[in-house]
Amino acid sequence: MLYVLEKWIAMRTVSGNTKYMEECRRGARFLKNILLQLGAIPGACGRTLVYGKFIGKHRSNDKSVPTVLIYGYYDVIAAENENNLWGTDPFNMTGRNGYLYGRGTSDNKGKYPSIYFFFLFKTNHNLYIIGINPCIDFCSERVVKGRSFGCKCHLFN
């Protein structure tokens, strides 16, 4: 999981700057591939919205099974380090005093790998959450709060 997080933090998924658009697309492909490797049914709407579904080990895609949506975003604010004010490269994850440092580690970007790996474990062991064994849907946008335009195509289909 730390290997995945390190690779993920290194991606400069900076929103609002065309200089980083291809890196944002690469970030979307990375998330989609992680979901695929962990056994989810991945997909994408557009170039930067990623979604995935963990159905369960012994389940079909039955519409009567409850679904839990986990929504988030993976963009970060630019963190250029020309003046060396960061102490370390913000896009190179480092550990100090029991904490991980890097652009996005304490925001949604840092939470994705742990959430994905938890649901992989939950799915593989057929664990129940609050007495149910729901399908888990992920909707991950490049830009916070819906500006990626496309979450609707996943959620309502």
Helices and strands (DSSP H and E) totals, the chain: 4, 6
pLDDT score of 97: 92
Residue 148's CATH number: 3.40.630.10
Structural domain tally of the chain?
Answer: 1
Element housing 49 (H / E): strand 49-54
Name the residue range of residue 20's domain. Answer: 2-155
Q: Is the dihedral of CA 139, 143, 145, 148 positive or negative?
A: negative
- Could you report the per-residue pLDDT of 60-104, keeping only the tens digit for each? 556 676 777 777 788 888 877 677 777 788 889 999 899 888 888
Determine the residue type at 32: K
Q: What is the pLDDT of residues 99-145, one digit of tens each?
A: 888 888 887 788 877 777 777 777 677 666 666 666 777 777 766 65
Q: What are phi and psi of 81, to 5 degrees?
A: -125, 35
Closest C-alpha among 79, 85, 35 to residue 55? 35
Distance CA 58, CA 54 (A): 11
